[in-house]
Structure 1
């Protein structure tokens, strides 16, 4: 499958010394980003946690409690996949995010982290979409629960219209109950998506219209 056509715009050509100097300055700036990220991660580890009810979701074989999703692990990552009850397909962006997951998910379980996906659509729709996408991740439906509304994954605007949010929830199983230790939405989801970070380091970036790029760089509407 071929990608976008090659743009005519390109960076200026310089000699090796000028390139090395420019690259060194860029790497130094990136080191500060890494150090700041370490500080943010340290504060994240110091967040308090809140107890969450043991929701009873629906899986392909029947009821599945939130605590069941931990399996043999004590830490659980849930991907909240946008899939409204009246939709016939999963959100394109969320589908793309699931496709970004590690090819070998046992790398997570090796570190004591269970993984599951939750959506508001009925389980039969989720199973149909899973089959079409070729996924084998554990995926349950919150259709018969208040989970999506309780935690803002589905919200109602001033006109009474419901809208969904993508994101990730991180849980800890401690002395019986499950606790929420962290959650993130919107661009916070990018932290665990490798493709955007790979694109950010290419000469043309993500090619999206919100990016600060040189004149002539290819850009397309983010949600075209």
Structure 2
């Protein structure tokens, strides 16, 4: 059912649209400035020897660049005890297929990284019809070091720093309903196990054989990468959400 919405003449619409355009231009200029500030962050040299498993075999972090000088990693929530990837991460990753090739031809490699063993990632990738690179960090410190994996003990004790702030001890670990419980069920695991993984993205540079970390963002910082929301924000009713409505793209017929 449509919500009650103000209507008007074309002239009234045009006047309101022109006023809104000025605000959109301010936001665009502000976004451009924030992008410049991201690029001005100091690079941090990475000396730890992280190891990954990929379709091409064992790989270092430098290998994930695939010969390019820039690497964007999406920290995809898919833990070793998940039976399927996170539905929200899956919705974001649906967009990777279209622009990964463009990034690759602009000196940027886009890769997902998850803690699940490579075999699980490959099977899920086939199910989803994806072709972008996806590396397993199983057995590596990579996810913990980039603050997107925490043990249940850490979560219950409050020893968690995610999105540059400390979380309250216990958090939502024992909830039996709500989005986290639904997502956990969709991954066929429990809430503490589901919440041990967190979403994020990190950017890296490779220069003179040395890998540097340049940027990471988490939580709502990923909104700009979630393509469907960019479209919904421009739809007549916006996001129009009263709960979790999205599914993996091959599950909508089951909803």
Output the TM-score relative to the length of structure 1.
Answer: 0.86
> Corresponding residue for 2:26?
32
Residues 57-66 or 40-49, more deviating = 57-66
The correspondence for 1:23, drawn from 17, 23, 38, is: 17
Give structure 1 stretches of 5+ with no counterpart: 1-6, 209-219
Question: Does the CA contact (< 8 Å) of 1:54 and 1:178 recur in 2?
Answer: no
Q: CA deviation at 1:12?
A: 2.1
Tell me, yes or no, if structure 1 residue 50 matches structure 2 residue 83: no
Tell me, yes or no, if structure 1 residue 139 matches structure 2 residue 172: no
Q: CA deviation at 1:61?
A: 4.3
Q: CA deviation at 1:74?
A: 0.2
**Partner Cα distance (1:11, 1:54) in 2:** 57
SS at structure 2 position matched to 1:169: strand
- Of Structure 1 and Structure 2, the greater helix share is in 2
Runs of 4+ that moved beyond 3 A? 159-162
SS at structure 1 position matched to 2:96: coil
The correspondence for 1:152, drawn from 147, 151, 154, is: 147
Compared CA separation, residues 10 and 111, structure 1 to 2 (3 A): farther
Compared CA separation, residues 35 and 61, structure 1 to 2 (3 A): closer
SS at structure 2 position matched to 1:105: helix
Q: CA deviation at 1:109?
A: 1.3
SS at structure 2 position matched to 1:172: strand
Q: CA deviation at 1:223?
A: 7.6
Per-residue CA deviations over 1:126-160 (Å, capped at 9, x if unaligned) read 11111111111111111121111111110231348
Tell me, yes or no, if structure 1 residue 67 matches structure 2 residue 75: no
Question: Does the CA contact (< 8 Å) of 1:199 and 1:206 recur in 2?
Answer: yes
SS at structure 1 position matched to 2:156: coil
* Matched pairs, number: 207
RMSD: 1.8
Output the TM-score relative to the length of structure 2.
Answer: 0.76
Question: Does the CA contact (< 8 Å) of 1:80 and 1:168 recur in 2?
Answer: yes
The correspondence for 2:240, drawn from 207, 217, 220, is: 207
Residues 90-99 or 188-197, more deviating = 188-197
Q: CA deviation at 1:49?
A: 1.1
> Corresponding residue for 2:121?
126
> Corresponding residue for 2:82?
87
SS at structure 2 position matched to 1:103: helix
Q: CA deviation at 1:41?
A: 1.2
> Corresponding residue for 1:41?
35
Q: CA deviation at 1:59?
A: 1.7
Counterpart mapping for 1:185-224 below 5 A:
185-208=218-241, 220-222=242-244
